[in-house]
Amino acid sequence: MTKQELFENIKRKQSFLCVGLDTDFKKIPEHLYEEEDPIYAFNKAIVDATARYCVAYKPNTAFYESLGTKGLWALEKTIEYIRTKYPDQFIILDAKRGDIGNTSEMYAKSAFEHLKATAITVAPYMGEDSVSPFLNYPKKWVILLALTSNKGSQDFQLVEDANGEKLFEKVLKKSQEWGTDEQLMYVVGATQGSMFADIRKHAPNHFLLVPGVGAQGGSLEEVVKYGMNKECGLLVNSSRAIIYADSSESFASAASIEAKKVQTEMAKYLQAII
Amino acid sequence: MTKQELFENIKRKQSFLCVGLDTDFKKIPEHLYEEEDPIYAFNKAIVDATARYCVAYKPNTAFYESLGTKGLWALEKTIEYIRTKYPDQFIILDAKRGDIGNTSEMYAKSAFEHLKATAITVAPYMGEDSVSPFLNYPKKWVILLALTSNKGSQDFQLVEDANGEKLFEKVLKKSQEWGTDEQLMYVVGATQGSMFADIRKHAPNHFLLVPGVGAQGGSLEEVVKYGMNKECGLLVNSSRAIIYADSSESFASAASIEAKKVQTEMAKYLQAII
């Protein structure tokens, strides 16, 4: 998907919501245990209930890997389902990968050729040759970790060099030598709302994937205030608050209501730019 | 496995070799394509041919993931085979994982409960709460990226803070607040031989996993000179130079010869400490 196509989807759907598919076997409604593939059945119902309110889905690979081949099979089917039934959705494989070149090539092959995701999250610690193999796929995206939403983000990401430049700022600057804003997005945690102004100094035109709204405590209003640009430039993720809104047989309609609630708020903020 | 048990294995086998199972479908001998599971058949033969010369195996998850569920199945069977037939082997899942706490918990579950590996490689960018869930398993290990062997390691790992401390040094120091040298090892690339002296200032007692000997160009002699401590403290990995030593039907005996060659050199270096 191109950046322009993503922006068109955002305008048409009045939403920049990404629904995180952190599907945990222990948290899905018990009546689904009777299904042949409970994880896939859950995801399918969640996707059908929320697709009209979001522009992206973000399955988190850890949750599927923890179930072994069964889980990977559910992941494959989920992505295939979204691609087929909702081809306008931007599908992010949240995998935080990154390794030496020949290994990153394998991860890229897995994400883009095998699973056919639109984007993958990548960790920057190993530098350029660990990231660039993911950039060789036209219309596919790398979403590089910059400033994350967890407490541990303070351990290294905020460390300043001799010139006062923080590590995450260095990641933003350096990585722009590797790819354009048509290939690269950044993960920026919503719990650090005021930092968005700083991020936008270094990456005014890039899309930012923003986790941490909802369960992790970030405010959508603040993210928009400091982070939105003229092409929106934001994909805001919500996982638990939407997919686990209800654990009864009405889980899907509860998810739909929660997604709609976020979309309605987003539509309001989008008025400023469209 | 405890640190002492690992050291006993090293002394008994006169080896600190780790064989990297970077098994690429395109590189295995063609006659294996007739097998029901060519990847597993290749790994099984390589393991049988090299187990007496090494103390560890390191399957690289990327290579298996790129084949989808089929690949993951081959990975599961490979680890199970090593665990059952060669229970003294230290099995490293080279996965470079790391995410927010609840997600790292899932990766830990996958590596240690599902796949039953002894250790997993983890990327430090997201800090303490992305690493600590992996440290909750007794006798299991986290191998944290410190200074890697690729060119891109220079992009961020060598950046100095205002006090001249490099990022990888900060990772070494900070992570020692999270776990002991009975739980934590570090990845240190062999292509940066002289840096080992610096690493040992910060982590005198830790085991170091050293990739980059062989195909990536590092020298074993230099690694030993600067990196070995009184409990050896080194696991030196070789992947391609051993497992792809020959692409004919004699691939396994060629791998055995290459592994023995490395082991013989290691035995010589071990005389200094045992």
Which stretches does DSSP call E strand in B159-255?
184-188, 208-210, 234-238
The overall average pLDDT reported for chain A is 95
- Please give the ipTM for the structure prediction: 0.95
Q: For residue A94, which residues of chain B lie inside 8 Å, CB to CB?
A: 99
Confidence band of B192 (pLDDT split at 50, 70, 90): low
What CA–CA distance (Å, rounded) separates A78 from A62? 15
- The confidence score (pLDDT) of residue B214 equals 66
φ, ψ (nearest 5 deg) of residue B145: -65, 125
Of B110, B127, B152, the CB nearest to A152: B127
pLDDT in tens, B218-257: 789 989 999 999 999 999 999 999 999 999 999 999 999 9
* DSSP conformational letter for A24: -
Q: How far apart are CA B186 and CA B41, in angstroms?
A: 31
Mark which residues 62-91 of B lie under 8 Å from A by CB.
Answer: 62-63, 65-69, 72-73, 76
Q: How far is A90 from chain B (nearest CA, A)?
A: 21
For residue B199, is pLDDT > 60?
Answer: yes
Residue B53 C-alpha, separation from nearest chain A C-alpha, in angstroms: 25
Region B18-33 average pLDDT? 97
Instruction: Report residue A215's pLDDT band, with 50, 70 and 90 as the boundaries.
Output: low
Chain A nearest C-alpha distance from B50 (Å)? 23
How far apart (Å, rounded) are the C-alpha atoms in residues A47 and B3?
47
Residue B67 C-beta-side C-alpha neighbours within 13 Å? 19
Q: Nearest CA to CA, how far is A217 from chain B (Å)?
A: 14
Helices B69-85, A69-85: inter-axial angle, 10-degree rounding: 170
Work out how many domains chain B is built from and give that number: 1
Q: What does the pLDDT read at residue B239?
A: 94
What is the Cβ-side half-sphere exposure of residue B79, based on CA atoms within 13 angstroms?
26
Q: Name which residue leads in pLDDT, B103 or A194.
A: B103
CB contact under 8 A, A155 and B114: no
Share of chain B above pLDDT 90, in %: 91
The answer to whether A116 touches A108, Cβ cutoff 8 Å, is no
Residue carrying structure tokens 């080992």: B196
Distance (Å, rounded) from C-alpha B153 to C-alpha A124? 10
Cα separation, A159 vs A166, whole angstroms: 5
Hey, are the CB atoms on A106 and B167 less than 8 Å from each other?
no
Give yes or no for B124 touching A (CB within 8 A): yes
How many other β-carbons are positioned within 10 Å of the β-carbon of residue B5?
12
What is the rounded CA–CA span in Å between residue B72 and residue B67?
8
Helix (H) or strand (E) run with residue B70 in it: helix B69-85
Tokens of B206: 């830790």
Amino acid A175 reads S
The stretch B162-187 carries a mean pLDDT of 97
CATH number at residue B70: 3.20.20.70
- pLDDT of B53-92, one tens digit each? 999 999 999 999 999 889 999 999 999 999 999 999 999 9
Q: In angstroms, rounded to a whole number, what is the distance separating the alpha carbons of residues B168 and B203?
A: 12
Q: Which of B96, B116, B174, B225 is catalytic?
A: B96
Which of B 103-122 lie inside 8 A of A, CB atoms? 103-104, 106-107, 109-110, 114-115
CB neighbour burial string for A221-252, b if at least 16 within 10 angstroms, e if fewer: ebbbebbbeebbbbbbbbbebbbbbeeeeebb
Task: Read off the pLDDT band of B176 (50, 70, 90).
Answer: very high
- Distance separating the N- and C-terminal Cα atoms of chain A: 20
Residue pLDDT, tens place only, A110-148: 999 999 999 999 999 999 999 999 999 999 999 999 999
Q: φ and ψ at B180, to 5 degrees?
A: -95, 175
Q: Residue A238 — φ and ψ, nearest 5°?
A: -135, 130
Give CA–CA dist A142/A134, Å, rounded.
Answer: 6
Which of A47, A32, A121, A120 has the alpha carbon at shortest distance from A80?
A: A47
CA B130 to chain centre: 20
Q: Up-side HSE of residue A217: CA atoms within 13 Å toward CB?
A: 6
Please give the Cα distance from B196 to B7 (Å, whole number).
20
pLDDT at site A214: 66
Residues 33-52 of chain A with CB under 8 A from chain B are none
Per-residue pLDDT tens over the stretch A60-90:
999 999 998 899 999 999 999 999 999 999 9
Range of the domain at B188: 3-270
* Sequence letter at residue A146: A
Contact status, residue A53 vs residue A259, Cβ threshold 8 Å: yes
Q: What is the pLDDT of residues B203-216, one digit of tens each?
A: 999 999 999 776 55
CB contact under 8 Å between B125 and A157, yes or no, is yes
Annotated active-site residue A96? The verdict is: yes
Residue of A nearest to B147 (CA): A126
Q: What share of chain B is helix, strand, coil (3-state, %, to 5)?
A: 50, 20, 35
Catalytic residue among A77, A96, A225, A261: A96
As a whole number of angstroms, the distance between CA A121 and CA B128 comes to 19
Which residues are within 8 A (CB) of B53 and not within 5 positions of it... i.e. 6 or more apart? B13, B15, B17, B256, B259, B260, B262, B263
